[in-house]
């Protein structure tokens, strides 16, 4: 059987594993949050896995990304350790930030993951800086700013588009359009329908893809990332996607139309789509996917157990890491 | 007046009564209505914690959900205020001020002075302040000192439902820009609040407990921690005066000085970072103006000079506790003259 996909079977399995890991990580947080195990604000990436995974598949650890408040999927697909992430979300030592940051501030600079962010739009200028540094290093590295449809209306984001174009930076701007900013509809809050038009207004190419279709994302991202690596400058990629859960955990989502969530889960599940695509082509069997599902469940269970068992930070930790020296 | 309501309800009622009274009052902010443009319930959120819920049904388009663009809509509220409206803009978390600070501190704050007294900017910017929500470093700050530092801004931070309603109504009627700080950990606390509209001047501190041994000067959540400390201290025979500043700018220094003159001792309690905060300001003022009344050195209780940590264990250690406040009071008493 010939493989019609742009990735080897091995890579396809890896991408599936990444998407499934994100999904199960988020499903588990959803349950554990409702049980009261997890403090603070938690924004789940479930439903949006294909975007992060399809884009990150093109990146190496020298490539940088700046994430959003909904950052778990970006972290996992960029290679951040799920145990360290889980510990962070539980506020424990050994977490990515030793419990000081929490869900909204997971980072792993060694993996090129410059941080989830509690301030919307804040990642875009930072990515201009990362791209500028990459340009000076001259090794063909790129930097990617993820931004929601809501945060795409921040001045910081719009200024960054212009700056990246003016400096011809190897910067990419990914708008994750899930239709909502909290409870407010994208179509109300954003005057222009097309992000392709918006990109044109800043003198850069723009592409819109179905963000629930892994292969559509993979292909489009590959093209713009390659161009940026070769000195062709910034681009904007819109991924139209769906959010399976509320804005944050605890959101009753009464702003959604009746039946909307059922439809999203039934017809726009990126993992289901991927499964159908690869099994229909006969490249991967359902049993192979199920085996990964089982393994991932065990990985997540282990991460939760390790997080629960990890030590709490203490008074001595409170005042460390404010400065390098003081 | 037996009716008890929460701080959250007090904010809602103040907005409701002022919107009913004055058609120039409009409200804007992210998701203050909620569900705008979506296919489900209108007024789905009423703000991220439901504070403005129900107002949309009464006032419709006078409440506006905004795009996620703080510079633009906070600036628009300020501009509209300069042109005859009385906007109440919600910044959600005060931590987001970084995005739109120019509009606040270079524009709203300075119009009146720069334009030779000819401008009026009756805008209110409401925002949640403070720690305790496990909301981490970018959603938990007590940034009151940053605003207090700016000439031209008024800064209010109530601690009770009664004060919240009266101070918010006054802030809306006030013709200067007011930063109205709502402590997110206090939204649920209940207290007696008259149904009728009333105002509390922005220049009057409130003595929330009287005692002769030591003055505690504070505001916001720390008023409650100080009251807890006072209850413990009372069992030891130590009676404290607690001054709730309520408004940080303007500052009712007279009430502070009177209290310190009476007790001879001062503990300043502030949830803001320890450098250049409200506690340091009050301490300096008292040292300058009532030095001879002091029987002991001034004490301050603040968090450490760190960002707000996420981990509940650390956050609980970060926020000043009743025990720390009580210890500071004991120190002024032991360390001082009789
Ligand atoms: C500067 C700033 N303003 C407002 C918020 C509050 N907030 C957090 S998430 C959010 C909506 C984000 O919508 P979008 O950018 O579409 O991302 P999504 O949540 O849909 O992934 C808002 C308003 C914030 N965290 N930072
Ligand atoms: Mg969105």
Kindly state if the Cβ of B68 falls inside 6 Å of ligand 1: yes
Taking CA–CA distances from A152, the nearest residue in chain B reads: B68
Query: pLDDT > 90: what percent of chain B?
Result: 98
- Residue A316, Cβ neighbours under 10 Å: how many? 7
CB pairs under 8 A between A and B: 161
Query: pLDDT > 70: what percent of chain B?
Result: 99
Q: Which ligand is nearest to the CA of A74?
A: 1
Long-range contacts formed by B284-288: CB under 8 A, 24+ apart: B285/B251, B285/B253, B285/B256, B285/B257, B286/B256, B286/B257, B286/B260
Query: Cβ contact (<8 Å) for A312 and B313?
Result: yes
Query: What is the nearest CA distance from A185 to chain B, expressed in angstroms?
Result: 5
Q: Is the pLDDT of residue B335 over 90?
A: no
Question: Which residue's CA is the nearest one to ligand 1's atom 19?
Answer: A181
Query: Cβ contact (<8 Å) for B95 and A118?
Result: yes
The pLDDT of residue B338 is 60
- Comparing CB atoms, the residue among A102, A154, A156 nearest residue B136 is A102
> Best residue in A318, A320, A322 to probe B by mutation, most B CBs within 10 Å?
A318
> Best residue in A153, A183, A185, A189 to probe B by mutation, most B CBs within 10 Å?
A183
The architecture in CATH of the region A9-318 reads 3-Layer(aba) Sandwich (3.40)
Question: Which residue's CA is the nearest one to ligand 1's atom 4?
Answer: A120
CA dihedral B128, B133, B136, B139 (to 10 degrees): -10
* Digit-coded pLDDT (tens) for B29-47: 999 999 999 999 999 999 9
Q: Which ligand is nearest to the CA of B32?
A: 1
- Comparing CB atoms, the residue among A102, A153, A182 nearest residue B69 is A153
* Digit-coded pLDDT (tens) for A94-146: 999 999 999 999 999 999 999 999 999 999 999 999 999 999 999 999 999 99
**Fold (CATH) for B4-192:** Rossmann fold (3.40.50)
Q: Is the pLDDT of residue A324 over 80?
A: yes
Question: Mean pLDDT, to the nearest integer, of B200-212?
Answer: 98
- Comparing CB atoms, the residue among B69, B134, B304 nearest residue A155 is B69
Whether chain A has a CB inside 8 Å of the CB on B117: the answer is: no
Query: Cβ contact (<8 Å) for B136 and A184?
Result: no
* Digit-coded pLDDT (tens) for A188-200: 999 999 999 999 9
Kindly state if the Cβ of A69 falls inside 6 Å of ligand 1: yes
Helix (H) or strand (E) holding B136: none
Please indicate whether the domains covering B4-192 and B206-335 agree at the CATH topology level.
yes
Question: Mean pLDDT, to the nearest integer, of B93-104?
Answer: 98
Reply yes or no on whether B139 is catalytic.
yes
Contacts of B50 in chain A (CB under 8 A): none
* Digit-coded pLDDT (tens) for A6-60: 999 999 999 999 999 999 999 999 999 999 999 999 999 999 999 999 999 999 9
Question: Mean pLDDT, to the nearest integer, of B184-202?
Answer: 98
Q: Per-residue confidence at B314, pLDDT binned at 50, 70, 90?
A: very high
- Comparing CB atoms, the residue among A118, A190, A254 nearest residue B138 is A118
Q: Is the pLDDT of residue B16 over 80?
A: yes
* Digit-coded pLDDT (tens) for A260-309: 999 999 999 999 999 999 999 999 999 999 999 999 999 999 999 999 99
Contacts of B30 in chain A (CB under 8 A): 181-182, 184
Q: Which ligand is nearest to the CA of B73?
A: 1
Query: Domain spans of chain B?
Result: 4-192, 206-335
Q: Which CATH class is domain B206-335?
A: alpha beta
Average pLDDT of chain B is 97
> Best residue in B65, B69, B75 to probe A by mutation, most A CBs within 10 Å?
B69
How far away, in angstroms, is A121 Cα from ligand 1 center?
9
Query: pLDDT > 90: what percent of chain A?
Result: 99
Question: Mean pLDDT, to the nearest integer, of B98-115?
Answer: 98
Q: Is the pLDDT of residue B1 over 60?
A: no
Q: Per-residue confidence at B273, pLDDT binned at 50, 70, 90?
A: very high
Whether chain A has a CB inside 8 Å of the CB on B86: the answer is: no
How far away, in angstroms, is A181 Cα from ligand 2 center?
4
Question: Mean pLDDT, to the nearest integer, of B256-273?
Answer: 98
Where b means 16+ CB within 10 Å and e means fewer, A169-179 reads: bbbbbbbbbbb
Query: What is the nearest CA distance from A4 to chain B, expressed in angstroms?
Result: 39
Query: Cβ contact (<8 Å) for A151 and B136?
Result: no
Q: Is the pLDDT of residue B337 over 80?
A: no
* Digit-coded pLDDT (tens) for B148-158: 999 999 999 99
Q: Per-residue confidence at B2, pLDDT binned at 50, 70, 90?
A: confident
């Amino acid at each position: 059987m010939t493989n019609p996909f742009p990735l080897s079977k091995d890579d396809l399995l890896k991408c599936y594993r990444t998407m499934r890991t994100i999904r199960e990580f988020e499903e588990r947080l959803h349950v554990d949050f409702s049980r009261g195990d997890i403090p603070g604000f938690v924004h789940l990436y479930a439903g949006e896995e294909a975007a992060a995974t399809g884009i990150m598949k093109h990146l190496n650890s020298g490539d940088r990304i700046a994430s959003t408040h909904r950052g778990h999927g970006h972290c996992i697909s960029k290679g951040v350790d799920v145990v360290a992430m889980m510990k962070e979300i539980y506020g424990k030592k050994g977490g990515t930030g030793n419990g000081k940051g929490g869900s909204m501030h997971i980072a792993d600079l060694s993996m090129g993951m410059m941080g989830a962010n509690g301030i919307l739009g804040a990642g875009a200028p930072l990515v201009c800086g990362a791209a500028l540094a990459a340009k000076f290093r001259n090794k063909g590295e790129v930097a990617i700013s993820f931004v929601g449809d809501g945060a795409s209306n921040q001045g910081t984001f719009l200024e960054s588009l212009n700056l990246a174009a003016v400096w011809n930076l190897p910067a990419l701007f990914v708008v994750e359009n899930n239709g909502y900013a909290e409870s407010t509809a994208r179509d109300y809050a954003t005057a222009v329908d097309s992000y392709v038009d918006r990109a044109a207004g800043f003198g850069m190419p723009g592409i819109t893809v179905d963000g629930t279709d892994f292969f559509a994302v993979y292909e489009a991202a590959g093209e713009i990332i390659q161009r940026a690596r070769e000195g062709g400058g910034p681009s904007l990629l819109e991924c139209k996607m769906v959010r399976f859960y509320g804005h944050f955990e605890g959101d009753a989502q009464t702003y959604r139309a009746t039946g909307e969530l059922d439809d999203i889960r039934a017809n726009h599940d990126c993992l289901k789509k991927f499964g159908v695509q690869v099994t229909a082509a006969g490249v991967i069997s359902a049993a192979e996917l199920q085996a990964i599902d089982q393994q991932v469940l065990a990985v997540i269970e282990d991460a939760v157990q390790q997080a629960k068992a990890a030590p709490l930070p203490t008074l001595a930790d409170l005042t460390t890491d404010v400065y390098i020296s003081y | 007046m037996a009716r008890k309501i929460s701080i959250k309800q007090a904010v809602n009622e103040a907005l409701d009564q002022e919107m009913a009274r004055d058609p120039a009052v409009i409200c804007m902010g992210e998701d203050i209505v909620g569900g705008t443009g979506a296919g489900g319930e209108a007024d789905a959120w009423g703000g991220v914690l439901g504070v403005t819920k129900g107002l949309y049904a009464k006032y419709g388009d006078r409440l506006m959900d905004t795009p996620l663009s703080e510079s633009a809509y906070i600036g628009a509220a300020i501009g509209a205020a300069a042109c005859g409206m009385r906007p109440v803009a919600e910044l959600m978390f005060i931590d987001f001020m970084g995005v739109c600070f120019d509009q606040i501190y270079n524009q709203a704050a300075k119009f009146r002075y720069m334009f030779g007294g000819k401008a009026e900017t009756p805008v209110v910017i409401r925002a949640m302040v403070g720690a305790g929500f496990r909301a981490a470093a970018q959603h938990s700050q007590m940034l009151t000192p940053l605003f207090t530092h700016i000439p031209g801004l008024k800064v209010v931070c109530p601690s009770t439902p009664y004060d919240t309603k009266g101070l918010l109504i006054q802030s809306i009627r006030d013709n200067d820009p007011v930063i109205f700080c709502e402590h997110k950990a206090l939204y649920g606390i209940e207290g007696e609040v008259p149904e009728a509209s009333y105002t509390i001047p922005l220049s009057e501190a409130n003595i929330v407990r009287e005692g002769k041994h030591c003055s505690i000067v504070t505001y916001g959540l720390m008023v409650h921690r100080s009251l807890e400390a006072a209850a413990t201290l009372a069992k030891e025979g130590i009676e404290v005066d607690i001054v709730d500043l309520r408004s940080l700018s303007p500052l009712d220094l007279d009430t502070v000085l009177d209290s310190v003159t009476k007790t001879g001792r001062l503990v300043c309690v502030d949830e803001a970072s320890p450098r250049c905060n409200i506690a340091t300001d009050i301490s300096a003022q008292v040292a300058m103006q009532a030095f001879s009344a002091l029987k002991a050195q001034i004490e301050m209780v603040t968090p450490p000079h760190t960002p707000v940590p996420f981990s509940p264990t650390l956050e609980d250690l970060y926020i000043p506790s009743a025990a720390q406040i009580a210890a500071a009071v004991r120190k002024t008493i032991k360390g001082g003259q009789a």
